[in-house]
Structure 1
Amino acid sequence: MARTTMWKAVVAAGAALVFTGMAAVPAGAAEGGVAFSRVSVNGGKPIVIGVKDVVEVHATFRMTTTLRYDSGVWVFPYRGTTENMDTMQNAMIGSDCKVVDRAKGICDFDEWLYFDPRHIDVGNEDAGTWRTAGRVSFPGDSQDVDDVNIPVQIQRATRLTVNASPEPVATGKTITVSGRLTRANWDTHTYQGYAGRTVSLQFKPVGASSYKTVRTAVSSTTGSLRTTVKATGPGTWRWTYYGNSTSGASSSGGDHVATQPRVLHSAFPRVMHSM
């Protein structure tokens, strides 16, 4: 059963262009006569959603048809089949046709999809790989819905914290770096500890432009992270998680640690001279 939220949509700037001089498709006509191409959803990047904020995603596509059609031409992520689908977006805004070739019925479109993690239909099971469909409606309530063969990853957002201590530290001494990895829970609308994940500890020396991975650690049952390293010089420490098919990538903020020269003590006792 398709979700009712799918068509809670608004069309910007009027109706889509109708190519005149062509016969309209009669009600109940079979699909066909429409091609979707050059489809891009979120620039090919995963759609990462937290627990509160509505996420806006930009999509672009081309549609080719010489059939008359109604306003509202869409591409969107779906699961199931084109005849019986689930979708996740809660609203869509589409542009008018940008004519590429009027005689051939070629139009380019822009579109904005909105994902609200607080909507009743959104749950943790929705994270993962979705397919992409294109849809156009014709006069008389018929439509064409096509799979455009583009996967879309929809992911639960992750967060990381970091703390490196002591600060400052003597060069060569041990630094303890801790933190916590949490993941958006769309069922409870909170961030919860994400256990059993391999997370990279990274360091950027003073004067460097990028971080390098020093070692990895696995998050505990509560998402906690903890490891020790030797201080080689001043710089900034952070944790980075690279994500998976259901969970987004994230990095913590950086924690800068200054270093001090190591004080060497003489092995010989100090001799006191009497006068």
Structure 2
Amino acid sequence: MRIRATVAAVSGALALSAVAVPAAHAATTAPDVTFSNMKVNSGKAITLGATSTVKVKATYTVTHPSSVSTSNILTGPVLYRGTSAKDADTQVISDDPGTCSKVSSTTLNCSATVTLPAAELYNSDAGTWKTGALAVDTKSDATKWQNDLGTIPVRRAAKLSTDATPEPVKKGKTLTVTGSLTRANWESGKYAGFAGQPVRLQFRKAGSTAYTTVKTITSSSTGALKTTVTAGSDGYYRYSFAGTSTTSAVSATGDYVDVR
């Protein structure tokens, strides 16, 4: 397990991370709670740059028998890769226990913050993660782990540039459009060329608001982009990348070309 983010103790209560591996004296009876409606980052993909640390909000519901008091139970979301939240290959536990509000005698609505640091990730960690949850009885150290509450994409951030030359250019002449597609390398803490990816060259005519695709090219072994077009009218050229299951989508800032 490469990540086990700490969970802050509240008013001296036992932090969730401190019991990720139960102590030998821990009780065998797990907290009688059930998690549902887990939503992390509003269901949107989490994108991390080369050195970024991202904090996202998680919301979830906790249900329990009316006879069970939850005053001594801490809860929080778990993001993980593997077959179970408890024994995950990679695991992130909420930074702080969930803050819960009582809905009824058996139901709590809760929210918590989850922190993902790029510096703690391998590039191979990009992809679909699972969401689960952890409950801790602070009196007995007993824990309950719950799996398969949903999924969340975790992606490497991409960057894209565009440069159209010459500027200005005569109508009917050739424009050369260059650029570069890179993505975050979490292991090196830098951005590196993203090779062999389909990237669309798009054009937006001056005075309009919509881009249209002119052609699609493939990034080189270093992530470089280069193609030519015939200059027709004033407007903006940009490269646009649709993203992959492990890398975010990105569009470059448009480069204005004056056609004379």
Which of 7, 10, 13 is equivalent to 2:8? 10
Does residue 86 in structure 1 map to residue 85 in structure 2? Answer: no
The equivalent residue for 2:21 is none
**Structure 2 gap segments, 5+ residues each:** 14-25
The equivalent residue for 2:161 is 161
Which of 89, 96, 100 is equivalent to 1:97? 100
What displacement does 1:87 show? 3.6
Q: Distance in 1 between matches of 2:103 and 2:200?
A: 47
What displacement does 1:232 show? 2.2
Does residue 209 in structure 1 map to residue 212 in structure 2? Answer: no
Relative to 1, partners in 2 of residues 1:30 and 1:224: Cα closer, same or farther, differing over 3 Å? same
The equivalent residue for 2:236 is 236
**In the TM superposition, what are the counterparts of 1:234-273 in structure 2 within 5 Å?**
234-260=234-260
Aligned length: 244
Q: With structure 1 as the length reference, what TM-score do the two structures score?
A: 0.81
Alpha carbons 1:89, 1:116 under 8 Å: kept: no
Q: Distance in 2 between matches of 1:44 and 1:170?
A: 48
Relative to 1, partners in 2 of residues 1:206 and 1:75: Cα closer, same or farther, differing over 3 Å? same
Q: Distance in 1 between matches of 2:38 and 2:208?
A: 39
The equivalent residue for 2:188 is 188
Q: Distance in 2 between matches of 1:91 and 1:27?
A: 23
Q: Distance in 1 between matches of 2:214 and 2:9?
A: 50
Does residue 174 in structure 1 map to residue 177 in structure 2? Answer: no
Partner amino acid, structure 1, of 2:252: S
Tell me the secondary structure at the aligned position of residue 42 of structure 2: helix
Partner amino acid, structure 2, of 1:140: S
The equivalent residue for 2:111 is 110
What displacement does 1:82 show? 3.3
Q: Distance in 2 between matches of 1:196 and 1:228?
A: 19
Alpha carbons 2:74, 2:135 under 8 Å: kept: yes
The equivalent residue for 2:58 is 59
The equivalent residue for 2:125 is 126
Tell me the secondary structure at the aligned position of residue 28 of structure 1: coil
Relative to 1, partners in 2 of residues 1:224 and 1:200: Cα closer, same or farther, differing over 3 Å? same
Aligned identity (percent) is 35
Relative to 1, partners in 2 of residues 1:169 and 1:189: Cα closer, same or farther, differing over 3 Å? same
Alpha carbons 1:98, 1:108 under 8 Å: kept: yes
Alpha carbons 2:81, 2:91 under 8 Å: kept: no
Q: With structure 2 as the length reference, what TM-score do the two structures score?
A: 0.85
Tell me the secondary structure at the aligned position of residue 4 of structure 2: helix
Relative to 1, partners in 2 of residues 1:164 and 1:7: Cα closer, same or farther, differing over 3 Å? closer
Relative to 1, partners in 2 of residues 1:213 and 1:90: Cα closer, same or farther, differing over 3 Å? farther
Tell me the secondary structure at the aligned position of residue 57 of structure 2: strand
Relative to 1, partners in 2 of residues 1:90 and 1:36: Cα closer, same or farther, differing over 3 Å? closer
Tell me the secondary structure at the aligned position of residue 125 of structure 1: helix
Greater C-alpha Rg = 1
Q: Distance in 1 between matches of 2:39 and 2:203?
A: 35
The equivalent residue for 1:49 is 48
Relative to 1, partners in 2 of residues 1:49 and 1:10: Cα closer, same or farther, differing over 3 Å? same
Alpha carbons 2:171, 2:231 under 8 Å: kept: yes
Q: Distance in 2 between matches of 1:176 and 1:217?
A: 13
